[in-house]
Amino acid sequence: MEHYSMAPLDVIIIGIYVLFVVGIGIYFARKHEDAEDYFLAGRSMTWPLIGASLYASNISSTTLVGLSGSAYGTGISVFNYEWMAAVVLVFFAVFVLPFYLRSKLYTMPQFLEVRYDGRSRTYFSLITLIGNVIIDTSASLYSGALLIKMMWPELPMWQTVSILALLAGGYTVMGGLKAVIITDAVQAVLLQIGAIVIAVVAFIKIGGNFDAVREVTGPEMLSLIRPASDPTMPWTGLVLGVPLLGFYYWCTNQYMVQRVLSAKSTQHGRLGALFAGSLKLPVLFIMVLPGAMARVLYPNLQNADMVYPTMMFDMLPVGLLGLVMAGFFAALMSQLDSTLNAASTLVTMDFVKRWKPEMTSEKLMKVGRWVTFVFMIFAAAWAPQITKFGGLFQYLQNVLSYLTPPVIAVFLLGLFWKRANAQGAFVSLISGLVISIFFLVGNVTGFLPQIHFLHVAFILTVFSGAIHVVVSLMTAPPPSEKIEGTIWSKVFFKKETEELKGIPWYYNYRIISVILLVSTAVLVAWWW
């Protein structure tokens, strides 16, 4: 690995940013009154903050490294995850979000108890906690460690991830969700500046002409839609698997949805989700295509995940490097603070409060802080293990494909099918997990034929859903109180239509949703 160094000015800029985010945590630590204030920012957040926080938490250092690395190694089809996110967020805003906010939830597993029973809530809480540690938090620590090792290659991986974990965990422990969202909004701005600068400089360095990229890259690598035999992103996987993984990530994942749960109203929650979706579309130009440009600039990189860090150190002048590095670390800490706060909320509200309902809200807040610290340690311990997998983005999607399908099936049926009951949900979750483990072991050992992970996600979701349907039909229907306020219906749609009359078009979430979907379709068609 090549060794880079930083000028004193760059170090000073990064230091100022670190002091800023720590100061935010200390400031808000003095303002928390109870658990709702700590975990959900007092349910007072407005749509610009929600949207910026969603975007910053998603486009983290993990994604920056993963998108550019995948574009360098396999082509721009990795952008399919990004534009599909815009589509999924429209679905979320229209069909799902209102029921979450009406239920006054703290956690996503809590919705399963409202719709089904406590068994499903407990299962999903455990699965989500595992995902937070081995997927989200650890991957962020790993990507940040890659960057630090470029400056100090002699440092072991465990030391770099420990430093990053203590830094991000510190202000999250103190400041709660409000500190997370406020810093995320700032980080979103820094992140965009950094990504735009990298993209512009890379384009200039290749001669200001994309033909240079085409000369060293096959046409299939510059196409979003790939054949069914493609090993990276088959079009069948794009149609069947990517939307399901997107539904899990944006509609059921605690560390993303928690921002929306903090909204001051359903309208602010919806507009925040759509705002985040609109920010996903420019990612093609400022994060994915620079990875393709790097094929011209650095044709012999051995590790594709080093593309983005290499471009940062090689291209940017003193001062600007410090600013972009601050944006990179901003992205890193954005995902770390999100997952740590989400894990804290899950343990505190889904387990501690249920076991000890007599605990005061202030004591729950203190428990949450300790839980955040513990999970920070676990994530730091796991992060070095990611080096044993392939590319970072591949690692993330593979784990999701096996871990999440039973949850996806239970949520979708619970939101749209009145007959889905608690027994069907629990049997589906447990049996779906067993089937997922069987597929995982079979693929790893060669007992089963190799199946693309996007196809695996679809197959496992169908299996889990079918079990849910069969068991639900064989047992008693759910009581009316489990359905009321948790099921989408035409009656609900018509009632909302009346409420939207007289609202300006630019504030009507349905019109904004259509504009976002049309914009997405045009972009995909252009790069087909």
**What is the Cα–Cα distance from 174 to 180, expressed in whole angstroms?**
10
Q: Which of 243, 236, 241, 190 is nearest to 20 (CA)?
A: 190
**What is the Cα–Cα distance from 313 to 333, expressed in whole angstroms?**
20
Residue 485 region, left (φ>0) first, then alpha (ψ -120 to 50), else beta? left
Place of tokens 């590790």: 303
Residue 162 domain-assigned (yes or no): yes
Place of tokens 């990530």: 249
Residue 478 domain-assigned (yes or no): no
Range(s) of the domain holding residue 302: 8-26+45-387
Residue 402 domain-assigned (yes or no): no
**What is the Cα–Cα distance from 420 to 174, expressed in whole angstroms?**
41
Tokens of 138: 């650890």
pLDDT of the residue at 54? 85
**What is the Cα–Cα distance from 315 to 9, expressed in whole angstroms?**
16
Total number of domains constituting the chain: 1
Q: How many CB atoms lie within 10 A of CB 397?
A: 23
Residue 383 domain-assigned (yes or no): yes
pLDDT of the residue at 125? 84
Tokens of 237: 């996987």
Q: pLDDT 10s digit of each residue in the chain, 528 long?
A: 455 667 788 888 888 877 776 676 666 655 545 444 444 544 667 888 888 878 877 776 667 777 888 888 888 998 999 999 999 999 999 998 888 888 777 778 888 988 999 899 888 888 887 777 666 666 667 666 766 766 666 666 667 666 666 665 555 555 455 666 676 677 777 777 778 888 898 899 888 888 888 888 888 888 999 999 888 889 999 999 999 999 998 999 877 887 788 788 888 989 999 999 999 999 999 889 988 898 888 888 777 777 887 888 887 778 878 877 776 666 666 566 666 666 777 777 777 777 777 776 566 666 666 766 676 676 666 566 555 554 445 555 666 788 889 999 999 999 999 999 999 999 999 999 898 888 877 876 778 788 888 898 999 999 999 999 999 999 999 988 888 777 887 888 888 888 888 788 888 999 999 999 999 999 999 988
pLDDT of the residue at 74? 85
**What is the Cα–Cα distance from 21 to 183, expressed in whole angstroms?**
6
The CATH code of the domain that includes 347 is: 1.20.1730.10
pLDDT of the residue at 325? 76
How many helices (H) and strands (E) in the chain? 28, 0
Three-class SS string for 305-348?
A: HHHHHHHHHHHCCCCHHHHHHHHHHHHHHHHHHHHHHHHHHHHH
pLDDT of the residue at 175? 47
Residue 461 domain-assigned (yes or no): no
Residue 419 domain-assigned (yes or no): no
pLDDT of the residue at 467? 96
Give yes or no for a contact between 34 and 347, defined as CB atoms under 8 angstroms apart.
no
**What is the Cα–Cα distance from 309 to 326, expressed in whole angstroms?**
13
Give yes or no for a contact between 112 and 127, defined as CB atoms under 8 angstroms apart.
no
Residue 420 domain-assigned (yes or no): no
Give yes or no for a contact between 285 and 199, defined as CB atoms under 8 angstroms apart.
yes
**What is the Cα–Cα distance from 277 to 87, expressed in whole angstroms?**
8
CA distances from 359 to 43, 154, 226, 351, 364 (A): 21, 47, 54, 12, 7
pLDDT of the residue at 384? 60
pLDDT of the residue at 194? 76
Residue 403 domain-assigned (yes or no): no
pLDDT of the residue at 75? 87
